[in-house]
Structure 1
Amino acid sequence: MLVEKTNKRTFTCGLDAAIAVIGGKWKGLILFALQDGPLRFGALRRAVPGISERVLILQLREMETTGLLHREVYHQVPPKVEYSLTEFGHSLNTAMASLGEWGEQNITRIEGIPWDRVR
């Protein structure tokens, strides 16, 4: 008997679904970096301090797959690739703005958390 494999997921609530799309440390920062317009890979890497080239590549691929980003390849010499937010990505950035404001308002308290005991 052949069993069909599906890649669909079921979520318990909207927050669960949103976290699945932005999960991890870097995607939110990449979204933030792209909010004002397209960036090339090097500029994006500089805009997201601390991210390695390998991790940035993986995150960009995932974000393209989920529909948050558009990758535009310009066939020229030297090759040029730009990343930009899709409508879906812009809508997520808008939703995350409130969370960012909350973080700014509470940054001192958050920095004081003993993270070695939380993890």
Structure 2
Amino acid sequence: MRERKIPLNLNCGLDLIGEVLYGKWKMRLLWFISQGHKRPSELQRKIPDASRRVLNVQLKELEEHELICKTIYPVVPPKVEYELTDFGRTLVPVIGALGMWGDEHEGRLRRVIGGTGRAI
């Protein structure tokens, strides 16, 4: 893992989940893997704005946090697939709930993120 400039402060569950899911594409990667997109090329197609390098780094971190496992098949060229672990599957309902919340509040979120207004 990378060396940290700022020490971890893991005082509560929100700190812990933030540490595990911090990264622009991690929740989407977990969601797409849960939907059956297991090959790196499939994941790249689902998230075209992310570079291959960034996706690989975030997949490696998800693997280190035991949310996904990687299988390398002994064929030429090598075939790689990702799968959720049992632990990773426990996050799918949480990610789904966050996605639904985002869908329900899409207009407001787009407005405040776009800087065109302020939520009250």
TM norm structure 2? 0.82
Mapped partners of 1:87, 1:105: distance in 2: 29
SS where residue 91 of structure 2 aligns? helix
CA RMSD of superposed structures (Å)? 2.1
Matching residue of 2:76 = 77
Q: Segments of 4+ in structure 1 off by > 3 A?
A: 114-117
Q: Which amino acid aligns with 2:81?
A: E
Q: Residues 59-106 of structure 1: CA distance to partner in whole angstroms, max 9, x if unpaired?
A: 011111010111000001221000111111111122222111111100
Q: Which amino acid aligns with 1:91?
A: T
Residues 102 and 114 (structure 1), Cα distance of their counterparts in 2 relative to 1, 3 Å cut: closer
Gaps of 5+ in 2: 1-7
Q: Is the 8 A contact 2:37 2:43 kept in 1?
A: no
Residues 64 and 17 (structure 1), Cα distance of their counterparts in 2 relative to 1, 3 Å cut: same
Q: Residues 20-61 of structure 1: CA distance to partner in whole angstroms, max 9, x if unpaired?
A: 110121101101111123511111111123110110110011
What is the aligned residue count?
111
More divergent stretch after superposition (86-95 vs 52-61)? 86-95
SS where residue 90 of structure 2 aligns? helix
Matching residue of 1:42 = 41
Q: Is the 8 A contact 2:32 2:43 kept in 1?
A: yes
TM norm structure 1? 0.83
Matching residue of 2:56 = 57
Tell me the percent identity. Answer: 39
Residues 44 and 114 (structure 1), Cα distance of their counterparts in 2 relative to 1, 3 Å cut: closer
